[in-house]
Amino acid sequence: MTTLNTKILFVLVIVCGFCYGNAQRIRNLGDLALAMEIIDQEYVEKPDRQKLYQAAMKGMIDSLDPYSSYIPIDSLKPFQAVFDQEFGGLGVSLDGPPRREKLTVISALFDSPAYRAGIKPGDVIATIDGVETKFAQVENVSKTLRGKEGTPVKLSLERANLVAPIEVTVVRARIDVESVLGDRRRLNGSWDFHMQADPRIVYMRIELFGEKTSDELKAALAQVRNDCKGLIVDLRENSGGLLNVATEICDMFLDDGEVVSTRGRGDKVDQRYTAKRGTEIDNSVPIAVLINDHSASASEVVAACLQDRRRAIVVGDRSFGKGSVQNVIPLDAGLAAMRLTTAYYYPPSNRLIHRRPNAKPEDVWGVSPDEGCLIKLDEVAFLKAIERFRKRADPGENGMLDAEPLHTTTSDATSDPTLDDDPQLKRAIEVLLEKIGE
C-alpha cells in the first residue's frame, strides 16, 4: 500500500469514527424530538409544548448533580436579582417548615416597605392576597412577594398576644440588598463595625457574594482601617455566590500567592487565581473567620484560602462542603438558562472541599475550624444566635442611642451581655484578644 493510500485510509477511519459518534447523538436528539411530537399529537389531552420542553430540560439537568439546574423563563430574573442585589419586593426575610411550624417573618429590612408597614419579626403570614400559606414553601412565597415596583400586596398576619389577625397592604418597592453588615445598626441606618464589647475589634458579616459585595467591603474596611486591631469576618449562613467576588475578597487580605484553583473534567486545571500586591488592612491585623454548617461555596473559598495561607483563624463549625463551580449558560434566546457544574475548586493546600454524595463525617471535605475553635450549636442555641443578630440589626432594639461610633467603650466583654447568646462569636473575640495581647 502506498504512503498516499495509507494517509487516505487513516483520514477515512477518523471521519467514520466521527460520523458514528455524531450519528448516535443525532439519533438521541431525534428520539427526543419524536417523543415530544407523539405526545403533542397523540396524548389524550392537548399538552403545552413549552411545558414539555421545560420538563425535558429539567429532567436531563437534574440527573447530573444537586447544583446543576434548569432555570425557566419565570425564574431567571429572580435568580439574577439575588446576585445583582436589587429587586422589587417588600424586604422581608422568611422561614418556615421544616424548621418552623408556620411561615414566619425572621426580619424586616431596615426602612423597607415591610419595615415601614410595621411588620415585625415573629409575625406569621397567614394569607397573601387572600390565599392561605399553610402548605406554601418559603421559596415560592418569596417569589410571590417579589414583583413590580409600585404594586400592592395584601397580607394577613398573626401576631403573638393578639386574638385577631392584622391586615396590612404593602406596596412593593426597589430593595437594595446590603451584603456587608456590622455589629449594630445606627439610628440613621448605617452600621457601626466596631464591636460594642471591644471597639478595637471590627466585625463584618458578609451575607452573600454578589455584584456589589467587593465594593461594600472595601468601603467598610476604609472606614476602620486606622483603628482596627482585630477583624472578624462572619460567613455563617452564607451559602455562597460569585466565585470572582470571593477571590477579590481574599485578595484584600493577601499580598501575593495562590487564592484558589478550579479543575474541570479529567482533573485538568482550568483557572488559577492569585493575589495582587497590596491589602485593604495591614498584614499585622489578626483575622478570625466565622463559619457554620450552612457556610458553602464562595464562603468556603474565602475561609479555606485564608486558613491555608495562615492569614486567618477559622472559628465555628465545619462548613457545608460545596466545592463545585457552576456556570450559567443562556438558553431560549437568553430568556432561560442552564446552571451547570463545570469544575471543582481547590484552595492553596489542594485539599478536597467538595462533599461527595457518599461521603462520611470522618472523610476529608469542607472547611474545619482551627484547633480549639470548634464550637457546635444545637438548634436552640442556633436560633438564639440568629435572634441576637436580628436585634443588633434593628436600631429600635439594639440600644444604640445616636449615630456616633461607640469608640469610648472599654475593652470588656461584659459591656455586651448579648454575646452569651452567640458562643461562636464570643470565641472569635477571645482568639483575637489573645493575638492582640489581652
Q: Is 156 a catalytic residue?
A: no
Retrieve residue 141's grid coordinates.
Answer: 412565597
Among 212, 229, 322, 426, the one annotated catalytic: 322
The DSSP line for 415-438 is: G-GGGGG-HHHHHHHHHHHHHHT-
Residue pair 175/86 in contact (Cβ under 8 Å)? The answer is yes
Residue type, 93: S
Q: What is the DSSP letter of 355?
A: -
Active site residue 322: yes
Question: What residues contact 355, with CB distance under 8 A and at least 6 apart?
Answer: 320, 321, 322, 323, 363, 365, 366
Backbone angles phi, psi at 371, to 5 degrees: -55, 130
Cell of 367: 472547611
> Does 46 qualify as catalytic in the annotation?
no
Catalytic: which of 297, 299, 319, 368?
297
CA atoms of 404 and 110, how far apart (whole Å) = 18
Which string of DSSP letters, residue by residue, matches 384-418? HHHHHHHHHT-TTTS---SSS--TT--S-GGG-GG
Alpha-carbon gap, residue 28 to 9, rounded angstroms: 29
- In this structure, the dihedral spanned by the alpha carbons of residues 10, 14, 15 and 20, taken in order and rounded to 10 degrees, is 140
Output the nine-digit C-alpha cell for 351: 485539599
Distance CA 18, CA 21 (A): 5
Rg (CA), the chain: 26
Catalytic residue selected from 123, 183, 198, 308: 308
Tell me which residues are annotated as active site. Answer: 297, 308, 322
